[in-house]
Every structure is written in structure tokens, then in C-alpha cells.
Structure 1
């Protein structure tokens, strides 16, 4: 007597995929100011136009505008100057379609330098505005 044939192999189970939202932080740099000034430089306009475009593509994103100064002068003076720099950027963005209620402005005085304050170039790099935001992106995961 011959044994019965083995049962057929079960069909492979396809992995289950799920789409989830993931937070993705965004930082935009490259907006600098001359010494003791909150006036935007011509070279900053391209960066700010990209920020306005980003804000329009991501209407739910909050735009954090952080102003900084170099360490020349008092903390209080540089705090006011860094706030004025953030305000200059916010004003430009508002004029280019970004609602003010989507922006959070903060001046940091000379805190958080990104370069040495010992050289003119380093001070210029510290006289800046950084823009931070977080967007939600879809990500497919295996379950």
C-alpha cells in the first residue's frame, strides 16, 4: 500500500502593510544679518521664498522663527535685536502668504552660537535667523 500524498503546502501569507504618519523635523538656515541690523539682506530672499513655498505646501505646519545675535554688546540689547530679526523674517513671510498665526517668534540674544564670536565671519554666522518646523509624512511599515 502506498502512503497518501502529503497535504499541499499552505499558501504564503503576504505581509501586512500599514501607512502611518511620522513627524519629520525641518530646519532652514542661511538667513544672516549685518552687525547691529535686523534688515534682510538681498541674498536671504531666495531662502525666505523657499520657506514661504514650504509653508504653502504644508498648511498645518507651525513655523518657528528663531532670531540670534553675536556676542557683542549686552544680553538685553542682543535679545531685543534678535527678536527684531525674527520679526523681520516673519513680516516678509506674512507678505508672501504665510499667516502670522502659523508663526511662533523667539529671540535668543547671543545664546546658541554656531560659530566663534572671535572673528568677523563667526559673528556674521551667529547674526542669524533659523526656521524650524515639523511636518507629518506618510510612512509604510510592515506588521
Structure 2
């Protein structure tokens, strides 16, 4: 897991904090941005943030989201990274769709409408899975 200038312990902390934050967002039926996720990770872990001005740091955030999906997907069968969007955008990033293809959840060359529909289905399913009334059942 070591990579992008971080050791295994840092990645573990980032995965745990990131997953907890995304579950909170799902329970609120809200998305988040890469910027908000980055700030939350810094605040909750005390670790250095990702510098989105650098390609390698953007790739590291994508790597982290993949690790979070890997941790959460066995429980939900969903891609919790669907909750993360670009600032002022209404869609997931390209890495989300690439991972969905890699996981066999989307066809190899999905149309724009297929990608949009998949993303919306993931969001709605995440909101339903983490709905407050479901947790207390």
C-alpha cells in the first residue's frame, strides 16, 4: 500500500477517516468535493493534505478513493466514491468511471448517458443503504 510518499500507517489512517466521512455524507444524502474531503482528512488525521496542483497528488487522492471503495464494497456492493465530485460539478470524476469499468460494474466504453445513469444509481443506492431508518432496523 505504501506509495505516493506515504507509508502504510498513513494510508490506513486516511482510509479510515475518508470512509467514515463518506458514510456521514451518505447518511445525510449529500455529496462532497475533493476539496472538502481533503480538508476533512487533514483535520481528522493531522496528516498533510493532498496538493491538487501536482499530478502525482491528484493521482494519490484517486488511489485513496480506490482503497476506500475496496474497503467498503464488500459490505455495500457499491462504490462509495460516487459521493465525491469536482468543485462546481454535477458528476463523479473520470477515475470513478475507470474503476467501475475495472470492477465490471460498467461496460468497457460506456456512453455518457450510461455513465450518468450509473452514477445516479450508485448515489441513490448509497443513500438508501445508509439511510438512518435502515441503521436502526
TM-score, normalized by length of structure 2? 0.34
TM-score, normalized by length of structure 1? 0.33
| Max Rg structure | 1
The structure with higher relative contact order (CA 8 Å, sep 6+) is: 1
The structure where helix makes up a greater share of residues is: 2
